Structure 1
Amino acid sequence: MADEDLSSSSKPYLINHPSKIARPSLSLDKKIDEGPTTPSQIIDRMINSNHYPSPSRTILSDRFIPSRTSSNFSLFNLTPSPSSKNQPDGARSEESPSAYTSLLRAALFGPDSGSFFPGTPDKGPPNRNIFRFKTETKRPLPSLMPFGPDDSIPGVSYSPVKTPRKVPRSPYKVLDAPALQDDFYLNLVDWSSHNVLAVGLGNCVYLWNACSSKVTKLCDLGVDDSVCSVGWAQRGTHLAVGTNNGKVQIWDASRCKRIRTMEGHRFRVGALAWSSSVLSSGSRDKNIFQRDIRAQDDYVSKLTGHKSEVCGLKWSYDNRELASGGNDNRLFVWNQHSTQPVLKYSEHTAAVKAIAWSPHLHGLLASGGGTADRCIRFWNTTTNSQLGCMDTGSQLATLTGHTYRVLYLAISPDGQTIVTGAGDETLKFWNVFPSSKSQKAYTIEQQEIARLLEVPEKAVGKN
């Protein structure tokens, strides 16, 4: 019996398994490589191994040894200490790191230093696991600094820091303008959308082509009349001329030909404004006439309300509202079909000549007063309210260079250059709003208009 026990113990042990499972699947005949067991073997394998974890991949830890960088050791502090229970809430909150400190550290030293505990999870469902066995590479957090773009954030653009714009102290071009009237209530300079400047000098109108620097004489009203206002249509091909005799003439600038003469005013026409095919004219007779150049009548409607000469007119960019300023210190707003002003403003204390609509915000209107007022006021015609007031300190413009007061101003079609005219009979060009890229190329249509304006007439003035 003893021999049987010894003989049976010397036999290899057999594992009983179900009949449905094949025997080779649980065979223990093969020797399992348990890897290095001594410390020296482990160190040798670490040194000689060429397999380094990629920073862009998930780093796996051992089955039983958790990863240090991913474990949330802050959960060990969930149970407050007995000493902290007796402290007031304010004292405990002061000891804890504030959000501001965390944001500041992340901004100054990088996103990895923004959290006080390594591997702190992002906002999301709370994970109560203390130990973790893998480390997932996360995208770096966006920079919290107000300067410099962060390339790791797709779809987010940062505007560069703008350098202060320097206003030039001297003009880059000066043109002589003999017989330019020193009258505050006239509007004798206008710049077309085709880069052609119209100037009324005495009883003549001249066109200065900014593309070719050529000067062309458009018309001569004679010794019995004089030019009081000029205004280009939006297309830049037709020019309206207001005269001292109360007439309005329409000229085709490309052919230097008068198309039509319209009457109605009893005194000089000092203000003109276009709205598509409708021309508004303001006069010393206190009236505003709406003229449709497609109709046979000289005017289609008459706007009344001013108590003195109308010296400023401007249509909004959507052609829905007309603003008018007068020597009665009043600013009126009209719509397309009204014969009486829908809005009236009387805050100015001097004549209102300077009027401008915002091309970006509907209903935003700016108006400037004369010497006694010296203010630029901003209005919201949608809510019928004044938005602000700026005291300029003088009726004169801030650009120095003219020896007399600045009376006329126009801006180029590209929005970079302004021209000013004064009683010293000069026109000065200022590069006030330069762009980052030089815009010297013009469209084919602009070049065609410039070529047509070079008529073989006697040129006056020099570049």
Structure 2
Amino acid sequence: MSGLKNSPFGKRLRASHQETDDEAPRRNRPRINPIFGVAPTTRSTPTSTPSLDSRPNTAESSGGPESPAELPRIARDYGDRFVPSRDNGDMRTSYHLRDEGGPSTPSKNRIIPSESDALKEQANAIFNSILHTEVTPPSPRRSLSPTRPVTIASGAAAAPPSTPTRRRLFAYSSPSASNPGTPTRRLDTPTDEAYSMSPVRAESRKLLESPRRQLRSVCKTPYRVLDAPELADDFYLNLVDWSSTNVLGVGLGSCVYLWTAHNAAVSKLCDLAEHNDTISSVSWVQKLTRSNKGTTLAVGTLAGRLHIYDANTLQLQRTYQQAHSQRIGALAWNAHVLSSGSRDRSVHHRDVREPTTRPFKRCTGHRQEVCGLKWSGDGGPQSANLASGGNDNKVCIWDLRGSKRASGLARGANSIGSAGEDSGPGDAPLWKFHEHTAAVKALAWDPHVSGVLATGGGTQDKHIRFWNVINGTMLNELDTGSQVCNLIWSLTSHELVSTHGFSSTTAQNQICIWKYPTLNMVASLTGHTNRVLYLAMSPDGETIVTGAGDETLRFWNAFPKKEKNESQKESRLDYGRLIR
């Protein structure tokens, strides 16, 4: 040790300690030593030094009784070697390893990651399993040491242990199942780990070599981006819709533009600037009939007017001047019936073939603005149902065929029945759901399962809920952690697309694809810098277009192509095809 004290390193060390002791009374903060960290001080007031893993203590900052008392510092004489102390280390807690008890229960809250898809999630799950197997392998089962039974008499002390006599110290026997204390590992087995050439264990090799489910890869970048100047950043408007004839209609300010997908031609349909009006909603007729070729476009305005245009001739067919007393934010077609939802809290139904301008039916089930409308279009027994979402956080299911839910029926656990207190006679909703805690704009009917509706809530709700409108029950719910702006079902797979806006996490303005009914995320698409308020799907079901307040329209290849054999399938019960 004398050589160390007289060495240049020892002299520098003593000089640093002396300088620290001299300057300690003059300074309020500890001196940082470049080699050993914080130097000990001689002041009576303890000084806390944050470490790399330190976290703010709420009780300590508030001066509460839960503040831990700080222990006095002990001066240590450090040498020239650093030996880490592993007394307080715990590998399981330090690396957040899983317990041996089994998989943990997943949380109900689903936070949308900034960049994620099914392939990454599968790879991360495999990596975590292999890391868990390699770092903390299961302990080998060890047999307990044989113990001699000791009989303790009541009120008497236990007998002291005694050395066994007339017994061999070592016992030699062949491994057998009857003797569990005998080791069963045989080194002459060719599959033993002692002869393995792989750097990982047998469990990890089995996991890596096992077949995995083939997942669909989704392109994370849009294949086309269009500028959309004056595209309003308003949650309550619906300004983008894609027709069955492959024409995209977009409302920009006071104008409506048509973009033809197969040749990228752009045409201007109308301009309401001369009427001092602004576009608030657009909707195409989706049904193709002999009298309606799918080229009719309905346009709603902020002044409450409703215009019907023919996209082929770019001509105005008719106008409803006083369709509503306030803006029309939602439109939905059912064959020739046009339903419109307004800020005046009512839903009007009109047959565009009739010459009268008055609606043949009114529905007043909402107490605030109606911001979402969607007809069920599966062609089944529920095709006459209309779903409406409002700013009053309610979802109403309407049946215009005349069947109304009796007020005396028992109400479901997840829904409340027809509300006649705020509706006129004969127009009570079939079901009224109250579970959402924010405005409901996103509505989508499942095209694969009849009677299933998906709804999405706003900023204060962040949930996607699935309903069975046949019995009025909630099937499932998903907390996305972000404002749900739009929902749409895939036509080629049982998947759901949701677009998002404001979020409580770093992930915002996402476009997410979910697998139903497992609700696992297939992909998360990013690119918009504002809330993704508008969503539409191409007629073939492969492409979606999204619009946002950043005044851009982005086209994504979201879904696989429809199989050729699927379109050629014919039912054996369809005897009409045999008629010539």
TM score, norm. by length of structure 2: 0.47
Q: Which of the numbers 280, 286, 289 marks the counterpart of 2:348?
A: 289
Measure how far apart 1:360 and its partner are.
1.8
Unaligned runs of 5+ in 2: 1-210, 289-293, 403-425, 484-499, 501-509, 512-524, 565-580
CA distance in 2, matches of 1:161, 1:321: 41
Q: Secondary structure at the match of 2:229?
A: coil
Aligned to 1:215: 266
Aligned to 1:27: none
Q: Which of the numbers 247, 272, 286 marks the counterpart of 2:305?
A: 247
Equivalent pair of 1:323/1:331 in contact (CA under 8 Å): yes
Aligned to 2:393: 329
Q: Secondary structure at the match of 1:353?
A: strand
CA distance in 2, matches of 1:163, 1:193: 32
Tell me the amino acid that sits aligned with residue 308 of structure 1.
Answer: Q
CA distance in 2, matches of 1:383, 1:240: 33
Measure how far apart 1:264 and its partner are.
2.7
Q: Cα distance 1:320–1:161, how it changes in 2: closer, same or farther (>3 A)?
A: farther
Q: Secondary structure at the match of 2:273?
A: coil
Aligned to 2:364: 304
* 1:382-434 per-position Cα deviation (integer Å, ceiling 9, x unaligned): 11100000111111233210111100000111111000000000000000103
* 1:356-380 per-position Cα deviation (integer Å, ceiling 9, x unaligned): 0011211100000111111110000
Q: Secondary structure at the match of 1:182?
A: coil
Aligned to 2:281: 229
Tell me the amino acid that sits aligned with residue 260 of structure 2.
Answer: N
Q: Which of the numbers 222, 237, 240 marks the counterpart of 1:189?
A: 240
CA distance in 1, matches of 2:246, 2:469: 31
Q: Which of the numbers 327, 331, 344 marks the counterpart of 2:432?
A: 344
CA distance in 2, matches of 1:410, 1:173: 15
Aligned to 1:176: 227
* 1:274-315 per-position Cα deviation (integer Å, ceiling 9, x unaligned): 000000000000000001111122211111010110000000
CA distance in 1, matches of 2:255, 2:214: 43
Unaligned runs of 5+ in 1: 1-159, 439-463
Equivalent pair of 1:417/1:434 in contact (CA under 8 Å): no
Q: Secondary structure at the match of 2:356?
A: coil
* 1:116-137 per-position Cα deviation (integer Å, ceiling 9, x unaligned): xxxxxxxxxxxxxxxxxxxxxx
Q: Which of the numbers 365, 369, 378 marks the counterpart of 2:466?
A: 378
TM score, norm. by length of structure 1: 0.59
Superposition RMSD on alpha carbons, in Å? Answer: 1.8
Q: Secondary structure at the match of 2:333?
A: strand
Name the % identity: 58
Measure how far apart 1:161 and its partner are.
8.7
Say whether 1:412 aligns with 2:472. no
Q: List structure 1 runs of 4+ shifted beyond 6 angstroms.
A: none
CA distance in 2, matches of 1:415, 1:278: 24
Equivalent pair of 1:284/1:310 in contact (CA under 8 Å): yes
Q: How does 1:11-410 map to 2 (within 5 A)?
A: 163-223=214-274, 224-234=276-286, 235=288, 236-262=294-320, 263-298=322-357, 299-317=359-377, 318=379, 319-336=383-400, 337=402, 339-395=427-483, 396=500, 397-398=510-511, 399-410=525-536
Tell me the amino acid that sits aligned with residue 305 of structure 1.
Answer: G
CA distance in 2, matches of 1:272, 1:166: 34
Tell me the amino acid that sits aligned with residue 394 of structure 2.
Answer: R
Tell me the amino acid that sits aligned with residue 323 of structure 1.
Answer: A
Equivalent pair of 1:379/1:388 in contact (CA under 8 Å): yes
Q: Cα distance 1:250–1:359, how it changes in 2: closer, same or farther (>3 A)?
A: same
Decide which structure has the larger Cα Rg and report it. 1
Q: Which of the numbers 430, 436, 440 marks the counterpart of 2:556?
A: 430
Tell me the amino acid that sits aligned with residue 372 of structure 2.
Answer: G
CA distance in 2, matches of 1:264, 1:279: 11
CA distance in 1, matches of 2:553, 2:447: 26
Measure how far apart 1:200 and its partner are.
0.2
Q: Cα distance 1:304–1:431, how it changes in 2: closer, same or farther (>3 A)?
A: same
Q: Secondary structure at the match of 2:388?
A: strand
